[in-house]
Amino acid sequence: MNAAQTAAFQANSGITPPDMATVLLGAVFAVLLVWGAWAMRSAYVGWAEGQFSQRQFLVVVVRLAVLYLVLTFFLLS
């Protein structure tokens, strides 16, 4: 963004572009963590009720961990 665009953005939103990027990244990671907790809880309930094997439960946990690490690498680098 050039200086005029940055000034217009800040005048209309009241926040600087880097601050907005921080808010958006925080929102993405918050949604990811809430979704991950829901997915792990659902997998745990399925495992506890005998609908999932322990291997399937671990696959869910590992996939979530890998997803979080990949998004962290790409979004925060």
Question: pTM for the whole thing?
Answer: 0.79
Are the C-beta atoms of residues 16 and 10 closer than 8 Å to each other? yes
Residue position matching structure tokens 């990671």: 29
pLDDT tens per residue across span 4-63: 999 999 999 999 999 999 999 999 999 999 999 999 999 999 999 999 999 999 999 999
